[in-house]
């Protein structure tokens, strides 16, 4: 965050990616900074989380590809964030960088950042995460690993809590 403070200004709804994905976020920040140059277009991250085992990067940017749309009724208001097709080359480049980082998280161990593959969880949870050989469930007991393997790996990953990106 210290290297790109403008990207982390304002209120974020959530910022808790797994530690193993911090290099993906740092790389995305570096690439976006290079694309934007001096005209940063108000770029900032609004939410950085893992959802169902995939890194999700949400951002705002002047003339960017995301906007809030009212889709509810007066009785039950609902706003959703939707993508528009960006027309500016910089906005298109930012969108590609974000998508690349999100895709890379599907082959990067969420605990340590080493290359990994998606392992279906053996515990009673509804998520799959990419893990390296050192952190995959088969190393914790073969076909019947400790049912708490997911939670122990989650604790090992020490969710990111604001250190330098």
Split into its structural domains, the chain has a count of 1
Q: Considering the domain boundaries, does residue 49 fall inside one?
A: yes
Query: What pLDDT tens digit does each residue of the chain (165 aa) get?
Result: 689 999 998 877 677 788 899 999 999 999 999 999 998 888 999 999 887 778 899 998 876 556 667 766 677 666 665 656 666 788 889 989 999 999 899 889 888 899 987 766 544 445 567 888 787 765 444 343 444 544 455 454 544 444 445
Q: Considering the domain boundaries, does residue 136 fall inside one?
A: no
Q: Considering the domain boundaries, does residue 121 fall inside one?
A: no
Residues in the chain, total: 165
Position 45 scores a pLDDT of: 93
Q: Considering the domain boundaries, does residue 133 fall inside one?
A: no
Q: Considering the domain boundaries, does residue 147 fall inside one?
A: no
- What pTM was estimated for this model as a whole? 0.71
The first and second tokens of residue 122, run together, are: 């053996």
* Host domain of residue 91: 5-102
């Amino acid at each position: 965050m210290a290297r790109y403070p403008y990207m982390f200004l304002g209120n974020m709804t959530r910022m808790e990616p797994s530690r193993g994905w911090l290099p993906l976020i740092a790389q995305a920040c570096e690439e976006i900074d290079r694309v934007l140059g001096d005209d940063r277009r108000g770029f900032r991250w609004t939410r950085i989380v893992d959802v169902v085992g995939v890194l999700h990067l949400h951002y705002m940017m002047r003339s960017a590809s995301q906007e809030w749309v009212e889709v509810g009724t007066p009785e039950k208001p609902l706003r959703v964030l939707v993508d528009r097709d960006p027309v500016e080359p910089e906005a298109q480049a930012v969108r590609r960088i974000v998508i690349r980082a999100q895709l890379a998280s599907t082959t990067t161990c969420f605990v340590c950042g080493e290359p990994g593959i998606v392992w279906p969880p053996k515990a009673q949870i509804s998520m799959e995460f990419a893990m390296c050989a050192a952190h995959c469930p088969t190393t914790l007991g073969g076909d019947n690993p400790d049912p708490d393997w997911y939670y122990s790996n989650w604790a090992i990953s020490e969710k990111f809590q604001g250190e330098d990106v």
